[in-house]
Amino acid sequence: MKIVHAASEVFPYMKTGGLADAVGALTGTFADLGHEVSVFLPGYRAALAHPSAAGAERRFRLKIEMGDQYLSGDVLAFSPRKNLTVFLVCRDEFYDRANPYGNGERDYEDNADRFIFFCKAVAETMRLADLGADIVHTHDWQAALLPLLLREAERRFGVTLAMKTVFTIHNIAFQGLFSAGCFARTNLPDELFSMDGLEFYGQVNFLKAGILFADRVTTVSPRYAKEIQTPEFGCGLEGVVQTRIDDLSGLINGVDTTVWNPATDALLPAHYSAADLAGKKVCRSSLLKTCGLDPSFTGPVFGMICRLTEQKGVDLVLANAEFFASWDCKFVVLGAGDKRMETALHKLAADVPSKVFMCAKLDEAMSHLIEAGIDFFLMPSLFEPCGLNQMYSQVYGAVPIVSRVGGLVDTVRDADEDRANGTGIMCAPNVASLRDALLRAHRLYWDNPRYAAVQQRGMARDFSWGTAAAAYEALYRDAL
Ligand code: ADP
């Protein structure tokens, strides 16, 4: 099949979260399966600086209609592996910035224009390059206008650009909501600014366009596919999702084992596997040393890696500060984002510097060392479309402590409830239930044979992209 992806993040060129990992792995896996894959992302400063982009060639110079004016852009392309072409949509005014969506304090004011331009540029490049896609697969609000804009371009130019379109919701909480004024820059017919179109309580909602106008809609776990049909998790779009119930499916993400495998991980000081965990001990002391904690500590080490947002249950962890202060354990946090949470976590670390370490940055290498060096991974999310770190944790022999929401339910089994198959500890997303889970973790750790059994079962699970890719392939074929 000829498959075109469009997303605002693709690992390793730009990553702020799981979207990048998922699109990076999905495109690579399909290329390796022999499909002809193209992937579009904005030509962010970091993406252009990536070593693989060094040999990128300018393929097209675009003139993109944005309301009543035309904006120019360049499309660069390179091929990092067989069957895969990466297209970077460049326009310095929009993408030559340190961060993809905002300056840390707030979102960029021109985000609507940046991603209208991106989607239009993808459609235009597909036309100019005559890509003739079987499937166009777009991801999240930043690329959500593409299915609709493609059909518009086909109508306008009398061509076929894509047989079928698939839209994946990686997180329904991010919708790309903008003031009505930006609608003119889509150059879509006025009647589409209505309840049955992009309008959402007087604003323009990009995500809604993806849900309504793609041929198929997917999200990243079966449980989340159900949850987003309810007011509790649908973030106001539950009614819109319900209209697509016949075309909606939940496909769990996989783990890219070329990146996340403790037996080969180039970012670790030592390698290990389920059969020989000696290397994990080396990683553990290396982690503790890196964090200024006692490397000879023998009790449980907890870890957490996430964007600092309410979603990730950071406040539930902070409300359990007393656990980390009073119980014999260590706790390492890697997370950037919300400044209040960052400050509170720094304070926790300052209060008990011999036990808690806080690292407030984006650090890929550190994230691997944490997964390898810890005994328990904390992920008490309030909602979680799929979640990757609970899978990485199992693969790396760290027992995940997760709340019973979304993809966490589909990928973790509670070790107390299911003694024969459990791979983690599950709780409700509230302070008391998390405290109970932390105490259960502590007990499990000191029950060595039981901890080892839970750890081994986690490491034996197959989260590789093979299964996930097969599900997407079946979906594509079914759509066609
Ligand atoms: P989300 O997409 O909601 O952020 P996921 O669990 O799906 O959550 O994916 C998060 C990804 O981002 C993981 O690969 C995780 O390791 C990574 N990550 C999150 N925060 C950081 C950080 N501060 N440094 C490095 N990697 C991070």
> For 125-166, what is each residue's pLDDT tens digit?
999 999 999 999 999 999 999 999 999 999 999 999 999 999
Q: Which of 304, 358, 368, 388 to mutate to test the pocket of ligand 1 (most atoms within 8 A of CB)?
A: 388
Q: Which positions of the chain have pLDDT values less than 50?
A: none
Residue nearest to atom 24 of ligand 1 (CA): 362
Q: Which of 265, 306, 311, 408 to mutate to test the pocket of ligand 1 (most atoms within 8 A of CB)?
A: 306
**Residue 256, pLDDT score:** 87
If phi over 0 gives left and psi between -120 and 50 gives alpha, with beta otherwise, what is residue 413? beta
SS (H, E, C) the chain: CEEEEECCCECCCECCCHHHHHHHHHHHHHHHCCCEEEEEEECCHHHHHCHHHHHCEEEEEEEEEECCEEEEEEEEEEEEECCEEEEEEECHHHHCCCCCCECCCCECCCHHHHHHHHHHHHHHHHHHCCCCEEEEEEECHHHCCHHHHHHHHHHHHCCCCEEEEEEEECCCCCCCEEEHHHHHHHCCCHHHCCCCCCEECCEEEHHHHHHHHCCEEEECCHHHHHHCCCHHHHCCCHHHHHCCHHHEEECCCCECCCCCCCCCCCCCCCCCECCECHHHHHHHHHHHHHCCCCCCCCCCEEEEEEEECHHHCHHHHHCCHHHHHHCCCEEEEEEEECHHHHHHHHHHHHHCCCCEEEECCCCHHHHHHHHHHCCEEEECCCCCCCCCHHHHHHHCCCEEEEECCHHHHHHCCECCCCCCCCCEEEECCCHHHHHHHHHHHHHHHHCHHHHHHHHHHHHHCCCEHHHHHHHHHHHHHHHC
pTM for the model: 0.93
> Within a 13 Å sphere around the CA of 165, how many CA atoms are in the beta-carbon half?
24
CA of 152 to the centre of ligand 1 (A): 35
Task: Pick the atom of ligand 1 nearest to 312's CA.
Answer: 3
CA of 334 to the centre of ligand 1 (A): 9
Residue nearest to atom 4 of ligand 1 (CA): 17
Sign, CA dihedral 132-137-141-142, equals negative
Task: Pick the atom of ligand 1 nearest to 359's CA.
Answer: 23
Q: Which of 141, 260, 305 to mutate to test the pocket of ligand 1 (most atoms within 8 A of CB)?
A: 305
Ligand 1 binding site (Cβ under 6 Å of any ligand atom): 17-19, 21, 305-307, 334-336, 362-364, 367, 386-389
CA of 307 to the centre of ligand 1 (A): 6
**Residue 236, pLDDT score:** 98
**Residue 17, pLDDT score:** 86
- CB 186, CB 117: distance < 8 Å: no
Average pLDDT of the chain is: 97
> For 368-407, what is each residue's pLDDT tens digit?
999 999 999 999 999 999 999 999 999 999 999 999 999 9
> For 69-126, what is each residue's pLDDT tens digit?
999 999 999 999 999 999 999 999 999 998 999 987 899 999 999 999 999 999 999 9
CA of 308 to the centre of ligand 1 (A): 10
